[in-house]
Amino acid sequence: MIANILDGLVFGLQLGLLATGLTLVYGLGGILNMAYGQIAVIAALVVAFSIEAGVPLLLAIVIGLLAGGLVGLILDQTILRPVYRLHEEPRVLLSLLLTLGLSFVIEGFLIWQFPLDALSIRIPGGTIDILGVPMRTGSLLASGITLVTFAALFLFFRYTSLGMAVRSVIENEEGARLVGVRPNQMLRLILFLSGVLAGLVAVTRSMVTPVDTHAGLSITVFALIVTVVGGLGSVAGAFLAGIILGIINVVAADFIGSYISLIMLLVAAALTILIRPAGLLGVPE
Amino acid sequence: MLEVKNLSAGYSGNNVVHDASFNIEAGEVVMIIGSNGAGKTTLFKAVSGLLSASKGQVHFDGRDISQLPAEEVSRLGMSFVPAERHLFPRMTVRENLVLGAYPHRPDADTLASVLALFPRLEERLTQHAGTMSGGEQQMLAVGRALMSKPRLLVLDEPSTGLAPLLAQAAYEALRVLQQQGMTILVAEQQVPLAMSISDRGYVLENGLISLQGTTKELAANPGIRSAYLGVS
């Protein structure tokens, strides 16, 4: 059971980080980015090809994360342009449709060009015992990186003036504008950050299991489920929901079967909407 | 300081305010009075850039700001406190105030003077803005607007949602600001309150400015007395 919970924590931290990139963009700009998983895959492939080309691992990872961020910026400057002219529900729907279309295009292209490529970062060192459970060093390192990232995000949003400005737009966009915050600048920043986070998820995930060309859709679906449970626009909610769902996922897979685990997550998301529509830490309307 | 010329504004092509012209000089307190639905909020939203005007100009310190969005108008030194306040509910009072100074770092002296004006805020610095009472939220909205050291403070119905005593307290605070030399433009339907601090005023009726004058002249006008002051 302890082993299950630890495995769930490892997976849950990744789910949380995964959802963070999606939930921030939604909370800030009312944009549901269905191409999120494909951004992660692009970043993963960039890292894989950089390593193949002889670039040192750390530098390759940095290049991959920047590539993810760059895709976010490109979205901001291209297909999201018409979305920015709309507000409320039409805005969410148009962003969903356009990015969904884009996700098909990117995935089709990647599968056509790189059908067998995948990112798999092997962390040497076998296993380390945690509470008597042998954990793979790859899992531990991935979790460590994720925790550090969450801590950095927390400090950024809590204590920097830029981070507070981003939160102010999530809290009340008109209020933010009245104090001189430029919402479109904040959105651009967060789309970049979201791309970097997508890349980071791909990198940490690849320390546990290979991230291949087809992984995009499942990454987006997981991110969506965690976002719904955690509450739109809430980083703390994404963190909490990620951990809870990670543990549910692993426990369900172990006791019932891995075929049921995704269904369990969807059930958890559906129950959340029924009981607490705004999510664990979301703002009720 | 602020000169509004033939401004028309409204929603989805329907103008609510027509051809409004008014001005305010540095150090003055000017009121725009009118009943509910007269167009005061629309007018102020157009002036502050939350709404884009369909016609006319708004000159702030000689610069045409009628096409600028609210975030740029704010950076030029005009702070708008809307009737809805638009605070950041899940952020603390301190964070709301710090953001008021954005994009600059909050200035310690300005923060001290805001807290001196509203001692209640000092007691609640770590409390979330959304959990405060209406009166406290109004104080925070004004305090946040002051943090950027604006040259012009624009307030839309500061008495909205406040019990009479609290509304009076809000105007007491504005009077203190006036004595410190702040230039204030205020829209109000509780006309006696607005008159208590204003030098001059304009009357907005059905989207048109129908009358203007010093506070004394307006207070003596029989039409104003019966319509807004409850004197027949």
User: How large is the greatest C-alpha to C-alpha distance in chain B, in angstroms?
Assistant: 52
Give, as one character, the DSSP assignment of residue B184.
Answer: E
Both structure tokens of B209 = 């400015």
Nearest CA to A205 out of A110, A126, A252, A139 is that of A139
What are the helix (H) ranges across A30-160? 36-52, 57-77, 81-84, 88-113, 137-159
Integer Cα distance of A90 and A77 in angstroms: 19
Integer Cα distance of A253 and A14 in angstroms: 17
- Closest Cα in chain A to B97: A179
Which one of B71, B72, B75, B78 would you mutate to disrupt binding with A, by most A Cβ within 10 Å of its Cβ? B71
Using one digit for the tens of pLDDT, what is the confidence trace for B98-152?
Answer: 999 999 999 999 999 999 999 999 999 999 999 999 999 999 999 999 999 999 9
Both structure tokens of B150 = 């604006």
Render A153-207 in DSSP notation, one character per residue.
HHHHHHH-HHHHHHHHHHH-HHHHHHTT--HHHHHHHHHHHHHHHHHHHHHHHTT
Q: CB pairs below 8 Å between A and B: how many?
A: 77
Residues of A in contact with B91 (CB under 8 A): 164, 167-168, 171
CA atoms within 13 A on the CB side of A57: 9
Q: What are phi and psi of B10, to 5 degrees?
A: 180, -160
- Asked if A34 and A269 count as a contact pair (C-beta separation under 8 A), the reply is no
Angstroms from A235 CA to nearest CA on chain B: 13
Using one digit for the tens of pLDDT, what is the confidence trace for A92-135?
Answer: 999 999 999 999 999 999 999 999 889 989 888 888 888 888 88
Residue B12 exposed, middle or buried by CB count within 10 Å (0-12, 13-18, 19+): exposed
**Which percentage of chain A shows pLDDT scores above 90?**
74
Q: B232 pLDDT band (50/70/90 cuts)?
A: low
**Which percentage of chain B shows pLDDT scores above 90?**
90
Q: What are phi and psi of A50, to 5 degrees?
A: -65, -40
Residue written as tokens 């703002």? A283
Taking CB atoms and an 8 Å limit, are B79 and A283 in contact across chains?
A: no
* Stretch (H or E) spanning A271: helix A258-275
Q: Has residue A246 got a pLDDT over 80?
A: yes
Tell me the ipTM for this assembly: 0.93
Integer Cα distance of B197 and B182 in angstroms: 12
Separation of first and last alpha carbons in chain B? 36
Angstroms from A208 CA to nearest CA on chain B: 37
Taking CB atoms and an 8 Å limit, are B86 and A180 in contact across chains?
A: no
Q: Least CB-CB distance to A175: which of B72, B86, B98? A: B86
- Asked if A269 and A22 count as a contact pair (C-beta separation under 8 A), the reply is no
Using one digit for the tens of pLDDT, what is the confidence trace for B65-99?
Answer: 999 999 999 999 999 999 999 999 999 999 999 99
CA atoms within 13 A on the CB side of B205: 8
Residues of A in contact with B145 (CB under 8 A): 178
Residues 6+ apart with CB under 8 A from A68: A39, A40, A42, A43, A195, A196, A197, A198, A199, A200, A202
Both structure tokens of A22 = 């999606």
Taking CB atoms and an 8 Å limit, are A164 and B48 in contact across chains?
A: no
Using one digit for the tens of pLDDT, what is the confidence trace for B142-179?
Answer: 999 999 999 999 999 999 989 999 999 999 999 999 99
Q: Least CB-CB distance to A178: which of B80, B90, B101? A: B80
Q: Has residue A258 got a pLDDT over 60?
A: yes
- Asked if A179 and A168 count as a contact pair (C-beta separation under 8 A), the reply is yes
Taking CB atoms and an 8 Å limit, are B100 and A179 in contact across chains?
A: yes
Q: Least CB-CB distance to A165: which of B74, B82, B99? A: B99
Using one digit for the tens of pLDDT, what is the confidence trace for A46-73?
Answer: 999 999 999 999 999 999 999 999 999 9
Q: Has residue B45 got a pLDDT over 70?
A: yes
Q: Which stretches of chain B sit within 8 Å of chain A by CB?
A: 48-50, 69-72, 74-75, 79-80, 82, 84-91, 95, 98-103, 105, 144-145, 147-148
Residues of B in contact with A164 (CB under 8 A): 91, 95, 98-99, 102
- Closest Cα in chain B to A283: B90
Taking CB atoms and an 8 Å limit, are A174 and B48 in contact across chains?
A: no
